[in-house]
Amino acid sequence: MRKRFSLIVVVVALFLLLGGLSFAVDLYFDFLWFQELGKSVVFTTALVAQSMLASLTLLAAFIFLFLNLLHANRGPGEIQLGIPTPTGQITAYVVTRQMVHRIAGLAALVVSAFLGLREAQQWERVWRWLNKVDFGTTDPIFGRDISFFVFSLPLMGEVVSLAMVVCLLAGAGTLILYYFKGALSIHSLSKRGHIRTHISLLLALFFLLLSANAYLDRFQVLYSSGGPMFGATYADLHGRLPLLNLQVAAAIVGALLLAYNAFAVRNVAAIGGIGLYFAVALLGGVYPALLQKFVVAPNELGRETPQIEHNIRATLHAYGLQRVEERNLSGDKALSRQDIQDNAATVQSIRLWDHEPLLDAFSQIQEIRTYYDFATVDNDRYMLNGMSQQMMISPRELNSVSLPERNWINEHLSYTHGYGVTLGPVNRVTREGLPVLLVQDIPPRALEPSLAITRPEIYYGELTKGYVIVKTSEKEFDYPAGEENVYATYKGEGGVPVRSFLRKLLFAIYFKDPNIVLSPMLKADSRFLYFRDIRTRVQKVAPFVTLDQDPYIVISDGKLYWIQDGYTTSDRYPYSTPLKGIGNYIRNSVKAVVDAYSGRVDLYVADATDPLIQVYQRIFPGVFRPIAEMPPDLQRHVRYPEDIFRFQTFIYSMYHMTNPQIFYNKEDLWEVPVLSSGQAESPMVPYYTIMRLPQEKKEEEFILMLPFTPNRKDNLSAWMVARSDAPNYGQLVVYRFPKQKLVYGPKQIVARINQDAEISRQVSLWDQRGSQVIQGTLLVIPIEEGLIYVRPLYLRSETGKIPELKRVIVAYENRIAMEETLEASIARIFGDQIPVPGEQTSAPVAGTGTVAAAPGERADLIIKARDAFGRAIEAQRAGDWARYGEELKSLGTILNELAKSERAAPK
């Protein structure tokens, strides 16, 4: 028996040793990682805080539990165990008080350790309370600053809950001990003595904690969700809240009676105290319901109007919507050709390439090798020829899953990084219907000097999931050059160096990979790069920040950087309506910039007025930098993030109704338009564009926008924009149409497009030839006080994989046009001579969207006619009658334009 017990002890000890070693190694390399980034204060602050909380909780819980068990052990009775002998008889064994003492101490220690580990995870609550700052806004019921609800109340609730758990554990432990000692009975509890005194005092303490819990529950009424809005209702304020106050008093009276009961002759005081508390608690569940049914329900709007006002005010403030600027549009002024000309820059920035077709095109023409992937396409703007132009950019990342030969050396030593980006304007295509590229190929070839990339390697990205080791004796693949490969050595300072065999061994334990210690290719100056994907990297540096789903890459001063937006959130803002996944308070407070080559992470404070980010700046001094310290060129690429804009538009679709009566009846509820996408329907998503806002005299700016329609209707009621350019960054503007004016909404425009005979005939013709017609995103483009709708059409051949932009549909009021270019479609609606660059070109001149042609407009038209005729003849010879018909139609359009120019020419 002793040998078996010793073996078990050895196995357990070995298991604990290995677990402790693994934990220590994890801590060590996490510290080295933070140290390499210059953010070790994040690691040390969290570690010190967790250690202190775990120790204090363990100590306090152990003392309380052990003293209660020790007191119970000193009471009457003893523990007797019946142990069977080999002869079948039962031998009574008495467990000594000393043995019970040791067991009780061990049990208290184990339970306290678990409680300490649990509370260590709550360190952020404590440190946020220690470093709290005021919001400068008070709640409408208790008059307390919002910081009390965000920072103080959660900590107070945690402390009370922990104390109640410890008290219950102590009570359960003492009852169990009394039971095994044979001292627990109805008689022992009914007469004055050691056991009743002990239990009564524990119950008195528990009732005091119930009183504290009921006191804190008073503030929880502000998070009620049972009324016509989120927050305390009339029944909560006039029924539930007074009874919670009464419950506080009842619990205190119960505690006093239980304390008295510890020394009284009978249990009358205890029964009275417990009965009083439960009677009040029962009344607290019934009275608010009666109040709601007989007082509130007959006149709900009248009773709930003040609470609705509180909810509207709090929700708008919590989501940063209190300063939304609303502007009214008359909707009476029709767009003219002059309006289009005056807003030429807006029209020039209309996006003709959707993300998915463009990503497919990039994948086919720019991946170069199978192990490169374009995972995402991002929208941004760049200054070209003194003008801000919208671009779509996609990083060429290395996907180790697609390597032709997957082994440890290839995945971790040789193929370590992606290479370069592909970038092109959103509105220009070649004659073949493919995107025009201003940055392309490997090595990156830029058509504009300002877009040149001198450091194209991408060691940190969205697909870089595993670790790699650089500066080893193995050649590091840089990029392919024809049939040969170019190799390079990492020259950055990112990563953690190996330095010694011991650290190499620890790395093998950390990554659970024996190849690390067995490989002879690692040198002392080799460096481990890990936590390389952008979201994980930023989240580890700032775990208290909620990250936007779309980090985007930018070209700045010849280098590649990732910009990751971060949000500070809370679910403790009183009266504010919550959203699933974020709570009921959000601010875009952080802009994280990650160097794609070195992995350096810089955190910039984008909203210095946010109390939450001010608290984290106090907790982690030196981690955050003011946004003004961001390099000027990077500042020009800061954009308003999509995720928070989605949340804000969803909230504003309801909370633009600030009149309580209108809000209650949902008379003016908006919704995001829902459009069909294949077999399913999905709401429109926000999109970026460059435009001059109506009623603004300033130049065009980069904005994020989304339209609204009335609830269950399809006409357009309003649209919201978020401005991204300084000095108006973050400003939200809503443009509203008059309710008596019918403005076609996106769904109505789509229906009209689908019903157009010419468009339907052309789409059917393509379908008959086996080609796949891809309908692009419908864009709502505000110009002056009107709207035009633009929808690109892509064509993917039956055997091809590259989508080609074939047509552009433009709709304005009752007019619809579908032509090969945006220019031609707008010209059909508003007249000729519209100076917008929509021509399909194969050799674009930077910033113009057109190619150099023969002098004069007529000469250019003649060349186009000749080219169209030649393509028609080629299609006829190939038997491609669909393309033949398209080219003849194009030829007819060009000849008509030529005829008009002849008539307009001076005689």
Q: Choose between 906 and 164: higher pLDDT.
A: 164
User: CA 137, 143, 148 angle in degrees (round to 5)?
Assistant: 65
Residue/partner pairs of 700-704 with CB below 8 Å, 24 or more apart? 700/345, 700/346, 700/349, 700/388, 701/388, 701/725, 701/728, 702/381, 702/388, 702/390, 702/639, 703/640, 704/639, 704/640, 704/642, 704/645
Residues 292-301: what's their mean pLDDT?
A: 94
Provide the terminal-to-terminal Cα distance of the chain, rounded to the nearest Å.
119
For 26-47, what is each residue's pLDDT tens digit?
Answer: 999 999 999 999 999 999 999 9
Which range, 197-211, 834-848, 854-868, is most confident? 197-211
Residues 319-324: what's their mean pLDDT?
A: 95
Looking at residue 232, its pLDDT comes to 96
Residues 17-28: what's their mean pLDDT?
A: 82
Integer Cα distance of 565 and 644 in angstroms: 10
Integer Cα distance of 587 and 609 in angstroms: 10
Looking at residue 13, its pLDDT comes to 65
Distance set, CA 23 to CA 19, 30, 428, 433, 530 (Å): 6, 11, 55, 56, 18
Least confident of 184-193, 328-337, 526-535: 184-193
Cβ(342)–Cβ(424) below 8 Å: no
Bridge partners of 689, per DSSP, are 703
| Statement: residue 3 has pLDDT above 70 | no
| Tokens read off for 180 | 């095994």
| Statement: residue 124 has pLDDT above 80 | yes
Looking at residue 832, its pLDDT comes to 59
Q: Choose between 98 and 547: higher pLDDT.
A: 547
Looking at residue 92, its pLDDT comes to 65
| Tokens read off for 717 | 């009621």
DSSP letters spanning 687-705: EEEEEPPTT--S--EEEEE
Looking at residue 894, its pLDDT comes to 78
Three-class SS of residue 563?
strand
Integer Cα distance of 165 and 209 in angstroms: 10
Q: Are strands 445-446 and 439-440 parallel, antiparallel or unpaired?
A: antiparallel
Closest CA to 574 of 315, 213, 775, 826: 315
Distance set, CA 883 to CA 152, 638, 817, 877, 880 (Å): 71, 43, 19, 11, 6
For 640-679, what is each residue's pLDDT tens digit?
Answer: 999 999 999 999 999 999 999 999 999 999 999 998 766 6
| Statement: residue 868 has pLDDT above 80 | no
Distance set, CA 141 to CA 121, 218, 280, 296, 306 (Å): 32, 11, 23, 19, 11
Place of tokens 């920035």: 349
| Tokens read off for 784 | 């002056």
Place of tokens 């981690």: 623
Which range, 279-288, 570-579, 688-697, is most confident? 570-579
Bridge partners of 569, per DSSP, are 586
Residues 610-624: what's their mean pLDDT?
A: 96
Q: Are strands 387-395 and 786-796 parallel, antiparallel or unpaired?
A: unpaired
Residue 867: CB partners within 8 Å, gap ≥ 6? none
| Statement: residue 263 has pLDDT above 50 | yes
Question: Helix 268-291 and helix 241-261: axis angle, to 10°?
Answer: 170
User: CA 21, 27, 33 angle in degrees (round to 5)?
Assistant: 135
| Statement: residue 843 has pLDDT above 70 | no
% residues pLDDT > 90 (the chain): 64
**SS3 letters across 468-514:** EEECCCCCEEEEEECCEEEEECCCCCCCEECCCHHHHHHHHHHHCCC
User: CA 568, 569, 573 angle in degrees (round to 5)?
Assistant: 130
Integer Cα distance of 75 and 201 in angstroms: 15
| Tokens read off for 81 | 């165990």
Instruction: To the nearest 10°, report the CA torsion of 162, 168, 174, 177.
Output: -100
Q: How many helices (H) and strands (E) does the chain have?
A: 28, 35
Three-class SS of residue 603?
strand
Looking at residue 506, its pLDDT comes to 93
Integer Cα distance of 822 and 470 in angstroms: 49
Looking at residue 860, its pLDDT comes to 60
For residue 907, what pLDDT band results from cuts at 50, 70 and 90? very low
Q: Are strands 496-497 and 786-796 parallel, antiparallel or unpaired?
A: unpaired
Q: Are strands 445-446 and 687-691 parallel, antiparallel or unpaired?
A: unpaired
For residue 490, what pLDDT band results from cuts at 50, 70 and 90? very high
For 229-240, what is each residue's pLDDT tens digit?
Answer: 999 999 999 999
Q: What does residue 91 show for φ and ψ, rounded to 5 degrees?
A: -105, 125
Length, in residues, of the chain: 907
Least confident of 130-139, 462-471, 873-882: 873-882
Cβ(642)–Cβ(155) below 8 Å: no
Integer Cα distance of 175 and 69 in angstroms: 9
| Statement: residue 148 has pLDDT above 60 | yes
Residue 556: CB partners within 8 Å, gap ≥ 6? 631, 633, 634, 637
For residue 882, what pLDDT band results from cuts at 50, 70 and 90? low
Cβ(724)–Cβ(638) below 8 Å: yes
Question: Helix 40-73 and helix 97-120: axis angle, to 10°?
Answer: 150
Cβ(809)–Cβ(829) below 8 Å: no
Residues 751-763: what's their mean pLDDT?
A: 89
Integer Cα distance of 108 and 101 in angstroms: 11
| Tokens read off for 449 | 């000097």
Residues 712-726: what's their mean pLDDT?
A: 93
Least confident of 9-18, 324-333, 770-779: 9-18
Which range, 345-359, 547-561, 788-802, is most confident? 547-561
Q: What does residue 552 show for φ and ψ, rounded to 5 degrees?
A: -135, 150
Question: Average model confidence (pLDDT) for the chain?
Answer: 88
Integer Cα distance of 881 and 878 in angstroms: 8
Least confident of 370-374, 634-638, 856-860, 880-884: 856-860
% residues pLDDT > 70 (the chain): 90
Residues 331-353: what's their mean pLDDT?
A: 86
Looking at residue 79, its pLDDT comes to 74
Three-class SS of residue 806?
strand
Bridge partners of 819, per DSSP, are 808
Cβ(61)–Cβ(173) below 8 Å: no
Cβ(778)–Cβ(750) below 8 Å: yes
Looking at residue 813, its pLDDT comes to 87
Burial class (CB in 10 A: 0-12, 13-18, 19+), 594: buried
For 465-482, what is each residue's pLDDT tens digit?
Answer: 899 999 999 999 999 887
| Tokens read off for 477 | 């693949």
